A and B are shown apart, each in its own frame.
Chain A
Amino acid sequence: MTGAPAAASATGKVLLSVKNLQSWYGESHILHGVNLEVRQGEVVCLLGRNGAGKTTTLKSIMGVVRKREGSITRDGTETIKMPPERIAKLGIAFCPEERAIFSSLTVRENLMLPPKLRAGGMTVEEIFTLFPNLKERIGTSQGTKLSGGEQQMLAMGRILRTGADMLLLDEVTEGLAPVIIQQIGATIRKLKERGLTILLVEQNFRFASTVADRFYVMDHGVIVDGFNAADLEANMPKLHEYLGV
């Protein structure tokens, strides 16, 4: 519905362009025409209350939602009809809300599961530098034996091996202790320094404000607003309304 205002900070090319995206889960029509853009090197945050369609948007971009219409282009390539494995090869990676750590795999196996799809992926050493806790727990026999925070790090760490240059992060701070949340914030900033582009979904906009360059606000399956990080304070009253806080 509403277009996204161009971000003053980002000058890179448009890496991801979503136009008029409609998505269904079975019979339920969730997204009613989403329009957004993400430029190279940006960290963009999708805000909105529960049920607004944020996770569905990420899943649609990743190809996990099967029934979708509209246009999603990654660097000019149309992906609206592609299955997830092909979208992954274009350099997009997804960290799901439920983390999806596999209980029938060891921690090491979980970490090594995603294959290298392009050049530029992180090595295991680099991931350990980013997530020192993972290094300690790498020998654990079952992925799900890790704590919530450790599982989150594992979920983020493993997708970095693929060589993806664009990450879709879904509620990575949910249910975590503040000190862990800070670590994750620091990690996202480091990733941005490496040149990765990130689109994240967050309910915790305080946290989001420490990492995002731009914000979109979603409501009832469409984008209703968008503004730069710099304008966050100014938009706070509107935001409170949108989020029903």
Chain B
Amino acid sequence: MRKTNIKAFAGAVSLLALCVGQAEAQYKGPPIKIGVMNDMSGPYADIAGKGSVWAAKKAIEDYGAAAKGMQVEVVSADHQNKPDVGSALARKWLEADGVDVIADVNTSSVGLAVNEVTSSLNKAYLNVGSATSDLSGKACKATTIHWIYDTWMLANGTGSAIVKNGGDSWFFVTADYAFGLALERDTEAVVIANGGKTVGKVRAPFPTADFSSFMLQAQASKAKVIGLANAGADTINSIKTAGEFGITQGGQQLAGLLVFLSDVHALGLKTAQGLTFTDAWYWDTTDASRAFAKEFAAGNDGKYPTYDHAGVYSAVTHYLRTAEALGDVKDGKKVIDKMKELPTDDKLLGKGKIRADGRKIHDVQLVQVKKPEESKYPYDYYKILATIPAEKAFRPMADGGCPLVK
């Protein structure tokens, strides 16, 4: 009899403890709605697209939101790379559909437009996909955090590496919109700071299907380096065209200023080998990231995640942590302030922090695309040449011109 009494007593105590423990960890706030907006059908669809939605949902699952009593819903939409579509959608989401936070939003022109909307409506904005460094610079807002990468980081990592290697005359082929122009501007600054010079520039409409005319101009310039200030399908087409016209055989080096894993996959190692660039996160670095990649591939037709996807995962994870701490996410500025206050930590990007100007920083790598014979398994594409520590990888806060940091 005593044994059962003790058992029962122990059971009751643990049950009580459990209840108390649960009660303490229970989230009491209203349901949370996350809006993931990006290019789902255009030149950047493989970089972010539906994969970002998967990554957001995975973050919610891994965080254990349900167990904590948090109801989190993810909605998504395609902004078609058009600022008017993106901003109208953002407004409708935030004003009429009860969305609390907007995440991802690649394509800088749209990213900037949504930035205005979220700021005017005081809702949190976690931009992962846009590259323009202006988001933590002159366009910074109290409601915005810029995650994973930006044009300054790319320019600094890739640009200085190439110039130091002897590529001191540059010709830019630039996507003619916010992102391309920002990337060109930031890279040119790095080139000049390292003693190089710009020989010429040409602006290509976004997107462009046939780069032959621009590559010919690049060829004619005799620059040692042809800087591709574009992304996604544009970069792929530029590189292919260069090959078709025998430009690289002629001794000029192609510099991919923004290259994603999906681009390398589309090009194939035969064409892409040797390309050197800055990468914000590569799947084949830690066990946790490898596991994530395998799960991602299973849920995304065999494609491996790019760093945009990793960024969304990381951003949503930190957001949930903040939501739990605050208890209510309706006030965008409060949420962002708390996110800046709490240090970040997730299985993909590791430990890091968010600066006052909204810039999330972490360590990045300088990588080189492997030769075909060096690749041993699917998506085994990169050799890591160097790691650039967080403090050095991103633009110093004082230089950005962000009004929040005065």
Direct contact of A and B (CB under 8 A): no
**Chain A residues engaging chain B, CB cutoff 8 angstroms:** none
**Chain B residues engaging chain A, CB cutoff 8 angstroms:** none
